[in-house]
A and B are shown apart, each in its own frame.
Chain A
Amino acid sequence: MILPVLVAPDARAQSITAPVMNYYPDRIVPGTGDIGIGPRAQNLNPTGISYDDCAQNQSLQFNLLMSSFVGQDIQVWASKTGDCTNDSNRGNGGIANCWRLNAGSASVNAPTSMPVQFTLRVQDIIGGQAYTTLPTTFPSQTSAACNTQPSYSAVSFTIYFMAISNSLFVSGSTPYEYQLAVDTMGPPPPTGVSPAVGDTLFTVNWNPNTDLDSAGYALFLSPIRGQEGTSGTDASGSPEPTLICPGADASAGMAAMDAGDADASIDGASSPVDAGCYYSYTGGSAPVTSGGSAAGTCPSGTPNDPVLESAFVSDAGAQQVEDDSGEGGLITQPPGGGISTIPPSYAVDFSNGFTAAGVTANSYTITRLRNYTTYHVVVAAVDGFGNVGPPSPEICGLPQPVNDFWKDYRQDGGGAGGFCALEAVGAPGQSMAGIALALSTAAIVRRRRRRAS
């Protein structure tokens, strides 16, 4: 296709520039307003867009300066790979190298410098990458656009603000191009997630990810630490989702009780290893599970302990054990592998964006838990944009008291402890003083002998 040579109506070259260097657009969040450049999970990339940004339906607000416009249109296009100043990349019906954003003005007259504001929806910017052929119109994208990223790694977008006349780029004009790094897909979950429980603690181990996208891990715990309910609700009174944790191969600390136990100890074999736990989705059609099965039991055995007895009820029909105390929680994940919709309150130690920072982390111990409460954990990898990837298969564990060396020693009668366990007041002082005196005397005697010789 031979394009007509464009000659700008005005000999002056149109230009669009940002008003300042290092310019970043403000972010507009529906219901919140202008949040400036916004909190970025990745400090080195303040221009980045994460799944959260997209899901929030953020808009980027550009304040640009235009000059030398005499009746030309100004249009805003976006692209991943193409040069949108090349008219063929914007050709209707052609390959969708560029897509027009829902912004722009026609017949702009700005012969001298004039500020103009553009507000671009993140979903529009991202969603265009799903076009296979360029449409004639560009409707507003929905939140589905947030799930269009084909890879785990971040994708670079360029936004073009440019002068257009008769659908052609005004030759000789100066467009303004803005680079965006977009990552709306969290990293894949780590493999080999396994539990290990102890006294009021739950250690989660996993195989570190090897992908380049992961920057750390997020752990989600149910029930929420400190909010273990006792009657089907959490501490705030909100009903907790039904626990589904049928398997025991990913469980720890599950101990069976024999009948007739009246004490609080557990005296049986641990539950057999059979099936894996799984989790449910709220937004997905099917659970993603690796080996998960509803046919298993978790934990096996019939708890008879007064504490445990109230915590578990065997659901024979489903071959599951449900936690009717409200201590179990649903750990959910939306389809598409985007950011998790697991309630943030389920995240463990997530104040800095990670539970365990660093892609090489392979273990985390959750402490201050309640013994004899079944906890459920999933692990998700987190990338540098703060995207939480899909969770691992759910694991469960039952923290309970342990006998460590010190406890054994003291229970057996050992009386040590402290640095001052001396027999009688004065005696040790005298002894130590005696030793010190003897050594000092020897040193003095030796020095005098030397002097004498």
Chain B
Amino acid sequence: MSRARALASLAFALGGALAAREAGAQERQDPLEGRHRSYESPQHFAFELRFLPYSPDIDTDPALHGATPYHTVFGSSARLMIGAEFDWQALRIPHLGTLGPGVAIGYTKMNAQATFLNGQQSGETTSLEIIPAYAVAVFRADVFWRDARVPLVPYAKAGVGYAIWRASNTLGTSHFNGSTGVGGSLGTQLALGVSLNLNPFDEYAARGFDEAMGVNNTYLFGELMRSDLSGLGVQSSPLRVGESSWVLGLAFEF
């Protein structure tokens, strides 16, 4: 429990440790108000900071006929992607949860040494940058937390994704036979996850965070996501920069 409390404190510190301290000071100045106040600021939005290993599905493209250019150049190690998501909790379903649209964007880049035609490493760098974005419908079942004080909030997301990517080398954007290494890939975005509400681990700080910053709930979440950027049936041969991965992050409802 102490570890979870420490984690919660860390999360609160990330968003508003100062605010929490100020709130604490206010508490001390108003001792008659009591510790278990029922005040809670309005809640309409959620913001997520997302961290995930990224290993795009480029080599699954049937057009490659089994060739693995991504793996050959960049290897099998996943790269860290950082991202952010903003949700509008447009609809609250009583005793169930919230539903609304959300948008997100991320960034990752992979570098490797390009090779000479004989396979020897050259002094040139080859890179692939990916900026995935998506628009999804988000459903968060916070009934367990709101009605039963169980600090777990399962959620699901579904929508469309679009990633902008750029292949480059030391000289800039790559070119080959008239094709330029920059473009976009369209597809679907699905995710299932569960958030751990950190408020119960440090109610004092949580309340201060709400009063000062309007943050109702702070979560640590884990998610399984599938980004299938294979064209959505309308793109002929997109670079398959989607992937299936797990995601860890912090979420704030406000």
Contact = CB atoms under 8 A, between A and B. Distances in A.
Nearest to A431: B234
Given A267-B118, A428-B235, A413 B123 contact: no
A414 B128 contact: no
A349 interface: no
A413 B117 CA distance: 18
B245 interface: no
B41 interface: no
Nearest to B160: A435
A416 B124 contact: no
A198 B170 contact: yes
A270 B120 CA distance: 7
B106 interface: no
Contacts of A267: 117-118
Interface string B219-241: 00000000000011111111100
B176 A406 contact: yes
B202 to A, nearest CB: 35
Contacts of A197: 122-124
Contact of A414 (B122, B127, B180, B239): B239
Interface residues of B, number: 55
Contacts of B67: 412-413
B141 to A, nearest CB: 19
Contact of A196 (B122, B177, B232): B122
Given A402-B124, A408-B72, A409-B58, A418 B183 contact: yes
Interface stretch (A104-112, A155-163, A419-427): A419-427
Contacts of B200: none
B63 interface: yes
Interface string B110-125: 0010111110101110
A151 B124 CA distance: 38
B91 interface: yes
Question: Interface range on chain A: under 10, 10 to 19, 20 to 34, or 35 or more?
Answer: 35 or more
Contacts of B77: none
Nearest to B166: A406
Contact of A199 (B65, B118, B124, B183): B124
Contacts of A413: 61, 63-65, 67
Interface string B81-105: 0000000001100000000010000
Interface string B177-199: 10111111110000000000000
A421 B236 contact: yes
B74 A405 contact: yes
A423 B237 CA distance: 8
A203 B170 contact: yes
B43 interface: no
B184 A415 contact: no
Nearest to A427: B234
Contacts of B237: 414-416, 421
Contacts of A409: 58, 64, 69-70, 167, 239
B90 to A, nearest CB: 6
A421 B73 contact: no
B239 A404 contact: no
Given A401-B117, A418-B182, A253 B122 contact: yes
Given A412-B67, A413-B63, 9 more contacts: A195-B123, A198-B114, A402-B117, A404-B174, A414-B58, A415-B237, A419-B184, A421-B238, A424-B234
Interface of B: 58, 61, 63-65, 67, 69-70, 72-74, 90-91, 101, 112, 114-118, 120, 122-124, 126-128, 135, 160, 164, 167, 169-171, 174-177, 179-186, 231-239
7 contacts: A196-B123, A200-B171, A201-B171, A253-B122, A365-B170, A404-B126, A417-B182
Interface of A: 195-203, 252-253, 255, 265-270, 365, 367, 397, 400-419, 421-424, 427-428, 431, 435, 439, 446
